[in-house]
């Protein structure tokens, strides 16, 4: 799992993500997120990287 | 004692996991008073198998074919559960290859239905379809990818085959009611219509199914999981036949957007499985008028059909921590229990039996040390755990928890309609395969995979298959030597064959020359492909059609692989 910067353009992606949710209710937003996770996961493919990403997402920083 | 099936009056009943019905009329076998009851003598047997289901009968038939004496005890006097479900319906290529070795495949193929096309639907639309015949890994074997047939037919064929082969004493109406483990053997108490008796067994094979008493007797530990998913089976004969395909609905509009399975079997009987609401009343869902209404919803108001058998069921998953305790070996449903998705129940039991039988025969014939039997647990526990994991994943897809699990399923289904990659996330059952052994003490890291029953040519040009070579090896190991044969290699192999239960054959490809050893022709490289080797190489194949090891040159590495595959510690 990469933890160093790999985005070509982080600000644009973040904006796209927020814009995609504009006007959606909670249920629609959750479905969008779930679809996006599955689409992105398929881009990664690598089982070890995916496993590390899932584990990392569960681990919140202290405090 | 032939194996006919006629169809009796339909019984609609409400058993929880098994129903009592009269849909199928099953053959009955005679109870013969065992000699122990007359003489009062307690006899010690090398092998006693408990349970004449598909697993126990496969075990008995494997042993009979290898000439090993055994006693088979079954509490009933028939195959199947009297008058009840057709139970297992779908038999994998690996199982069919095993049945071929046992001599019952031709009857199964003649009675059963071959299928290769499967379609999965959500709502009114097809999400994806597959054709197994177009998947390259299936088309090499002499046996087809799958045959669907009612389980009791296979059991009936096995019974008749065992009677023909001899060696196994089939004791019907013999229920084991007591068990005592001693140092090197166990004592079983058997109840029969003529009274009780005791017998001793050096090896007890528990193939008595999910309600086995041996778990408690042996103190077996296990991991179990029980969900709230409920299904109702209808075995149906239609006047107008649906297509010869496996259809699965994840969300069927004609079943309250719950899952439906549509599978075909012998005698033009179709198995339709309906997923019910959680905690549905099994008595209600299996009433004739309720079943007929579901069929009308699915096939249209004018559907004409005869309902052969109906039964509700719930499933649990369970995996024993160890498949051997003392003298007792657990196999089939006593080793693990899985949900029915992917045909991983009965097929796993058949492979359990095939795995243990050759090892037991080798030990009892003095060809291998008793330590070889430890590998049964290593190999088949890995298979059991994997099948439990795979089927649990399917069950979770089909009955997702409310909230996030259901949401992800919705996301996966919607993506699968749009993009090819997402079809892989749709899990309506991963069809059973021959499990590989990755941490067996008797397999090299180059081995552990099943070798398909591929075809080759004998030296005279006639057609043969891997199973013919295994039959020739007669319970011993088989060394295939691919490519040209240096004379040193030939001498070493001949010497090896005099010291160990090994049969050696040269496999001559299009660019090779036959050497001094017996040889077969592999003009298309199918045999080589099935053994996962390239160029000049050897493959060591076990009697269960699994690779023990592969290598390049005929040297001490091969000798060590032979010793290792027989459980000889190095």
pLDDT in tens, chain B (570 residues): 454 445 554 443 333 233 333 466 788 999 999 999 989 899 999 999 999 999 999 999 999 999 999 999 999 998 876 555 568 899 999 999 999 999 999 999 999 999 889 999 998 889 988 888 887 677 789 999 999 999 999 999 999 999 999 999 999 999 999 999 999 999 999 999 999 999 999 999 999 998 999 999 999 999 998 888 888 988 888 888 888 899 999 999 999 999 999 999 888 889 999 999 987 888 888 888 888 999 999 999 998 888 888 888 888 899 999 999 999 999 999 999 998 888 999 999 999 999 999 999 999 999 999 999 999 999 999 999 999 999 999 999 999 999 999 999 999 999 999 999 999 999 998 989 999 999 999 999 999 999 999 999 999 999 999 999 999 999 999 999 999 888 888 888 888 888 889 999 999 998 888 887 789 999 999 999 999 999 899 999 999 999 999 999 899 999 999 999 999 987
Name the architecture of domain B8-28+44-384. Answer: 3-Layer(bba) Sandwich (3.50)
Nearest CA among B288, B294, B296, B311 for reference residue B259:
B294
CA distance A36 to chain B (A): 9
| Domain pair B8-28+44-384 / B455-565, same fold | no
Q: Searching chain A, which residue's CA lies closest to the CA of residue B419?
A: A39
Rounded Cα distance, B542 and B448, in Å: 10
Interface test with B, best of A42, A43, A50, A54 (most B CBs within 10 A): A42
Give this prediction's pTM.
Answer: 0.93
Of chain B residues 59-118, which have a CB less than 8 A from chain A?
none
According to CATH, the superfamily of the domain at B455-565 is Glutaredoxin (3.40.30.10)
Residues from chain B contacting residue A38 (CB–CB below 8 Å)? 408, 411-412, 415, 422, 425
Q: pLDDT (tens digit, 9 = 90+) per residue, A10-54? A: 999 999 999 999 999 999 999 999 999 999 999 999 999 999 999
ipTM over 0.95: yes
How many contacts (CB atoms, under 8 Å) link A and B? 23
* Structural domain includes residue A9: no
Task: Name the domain count of chain A.
Answer: 1
Contact (CB<8Å) A42/B422: yes
* Structural domain includes residue A59: yes
B123: left (phi over 0), alpha (psi -120 to 50) or beta: left
Rounded Cα distance, B161 and B72, in Å: 14
* CA dist list (Å): A16 to A12, A22, A43, B21, B473: 6, 10, 18, 61, 66
Rounded Cα distance, B351 and B59, in Å: 9
Contact (CB<8Å) A31/B422: no
CA distance B405 to chain A (A): 10
Length of chain A equals 63
The range of the structural domain enclosing residue A42 comes to: 26-63
- B69 with B410: CB under 8 angstroms? no
Q: Where are the domains of chain B?
A: 8-28+44-384, 455-565
- B15 with B311: CB under 8 angstroms? yes
Separation of CA B134 from chain center: 23
Q: Does B417 touch chain A (CB under 8 A)?
A: no
Contact (CB<8Å) B421/A31: no
Rounded Cα distance, B362 and B435, in Å: 22
Contact (CB<8Å) A30/B408: no
Separation of CA B216 from chain center: 25
Query: B258-264 and B269-276: which strand pairing?
Result: antiparallel
* Structural domain includes residue A31: yes
**Torsion sign (Cα): B13, B17, B23, B29:** negative
* CA dist list (Å): B13 to B181, B220, B284: 39, 33, 9
Name the token pair of B568: 């000889």
Contact (CB<8Å) A38/B425: yes
* Structural domain includes residue A33: yes
Name the token pair of B126: 């097809």
Helix (H) or strand (E) holding B218: helix B214-218
Q: Searching chain B, which residue's CA lies closest to the CA of residue A27?
A: B407
Q: Does A43 touch chain B (CB under 8 A)?
A: no
* Structural domain includes residue A7: no
Of chain A residues 2-41, which have a CB less than 8 A from chain B?
30-31, 34-35, 37-39
Contact (CB<8Å) A35/B407: no
């Amino acid at each position: 799992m990469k933890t160093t910067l790999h985005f070509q353009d982080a600000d644009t992606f973040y904006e796209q993500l927020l814009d995609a949710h504009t006007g959606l209710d909670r249920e629609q937003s959750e479905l969008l997120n779930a679809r996006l996770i599955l689409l992105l996961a398929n881009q990664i493919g690598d089982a070890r990287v995916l496993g590390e990403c899932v584990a990392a997402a569960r681990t919140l920083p202290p405090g | 004692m032939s194996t006919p099936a006629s169809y009796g009056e339909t019984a609609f009943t409400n058993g929880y996991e098994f129903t009592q019905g009269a849909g199928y009329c099953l053959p009955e076998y005679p109870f013969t008073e065992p000699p122990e009851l007359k003489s009062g003598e307690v006899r010690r047997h090398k092998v006693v198998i408990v349970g004449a289901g598909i697993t126990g009968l496969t075990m008995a038939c494997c042993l009979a074919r290898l000439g090993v004496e055994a006693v088979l005890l079954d509490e009933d006097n028939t195959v199947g559960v009297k008058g009840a479900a057709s139970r297992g319906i779908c038999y994998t290529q690996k199982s069919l290859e095993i049945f071929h070795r046992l001599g019952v495949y031709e009857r199964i193929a003649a009675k059963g239905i071959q299928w290769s096309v499967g379609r999965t639907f959500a709502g009114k639309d097809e999400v994806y379809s597959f054709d197994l015949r177009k998947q390259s890994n299936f088309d090499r074997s002499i046996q087809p990818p799958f045959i669907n047939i009612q389980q009791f037919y296979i059991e009936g064929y096995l019974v008749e085959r065992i009677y023909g082969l001899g060696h196994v004493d089939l004791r019907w109406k013999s229920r084991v009611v007591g068990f005592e483990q001693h140092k090197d053997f166990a004592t079983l108490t058997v109840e029969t219509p003529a009274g009780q008796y005791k017998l001793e067994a050096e090896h007890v094979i528990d193939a008595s199914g999910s309600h086995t008493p041996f778990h408690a007797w042996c103190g077996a530990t296990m991991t179990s999981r029980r969900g709230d998913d409920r299904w109702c089976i209808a075995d149906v004969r239609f006047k107008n036949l649906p297509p010869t395909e496996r259809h699965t609905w994840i969300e069927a509009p004609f079943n309250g957007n719950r899952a439906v399975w549509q599978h075909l079997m012998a005698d033009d009987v179709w198995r339709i499985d309906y997923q019910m609401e959680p905690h549905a009343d099994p008595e209600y869902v299996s009433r004739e008028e309720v079943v007929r209404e579901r069929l009308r919803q699915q096939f249209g108001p004018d559907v004409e059909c005869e309902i052969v058998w109906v039964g509700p069921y719930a499933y649990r998953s369970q995996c024993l921590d160890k498949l051997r305790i003392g003298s007792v070996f657990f196999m089939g449903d006593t080793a693990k229990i899985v949900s029915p998705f992917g045909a991983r129940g009965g097929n796993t039991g058949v492979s359990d039996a095939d795995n243990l039988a050759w090892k037991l025969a080798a030990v009892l014939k003095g060809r291998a040390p008793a330590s070889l039997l430890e590998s049964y647990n290593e190999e088949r526990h890995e298979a059991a755990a994997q099948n439990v994991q795979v089927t649990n994943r399917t069950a979770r897809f089909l009955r997702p928890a409310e909230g996030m699990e259901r949401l992800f399923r919705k996301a996966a289904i919607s993506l699968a309609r749009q993009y090819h990659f997402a079809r892989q996330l749709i899990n309506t059952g991963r069809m059973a395969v021959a499990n590989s052994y990755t941490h067996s003490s008797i397999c090299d890291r180059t081995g552990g995979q099943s070798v398909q029953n591929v075809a080759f040519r004998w030296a005279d040009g006639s057609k043969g298959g891997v199973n013919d070579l295994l039959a020739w090896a007669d319970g011993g190991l088989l060394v295939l030597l691919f490519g040209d044969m240096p004379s040193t290699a030939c001498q070493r192999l001949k010497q090896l064959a005099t010291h160990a239960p090994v049969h050696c054959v040269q496999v001559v490809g299009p660019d090779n020359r036959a050497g001094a050893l017996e040889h077969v022709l592999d003009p298309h490289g199918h045999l080589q492909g099935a053994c996962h080797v390239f160029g000049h190489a050897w493959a060591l194949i076990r009697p269960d059609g699994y690779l023990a090891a592969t290598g390049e040159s005929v040297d001490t590495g091969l000798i060590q692989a032979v010793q290792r595959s027989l459980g000889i510690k190095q």
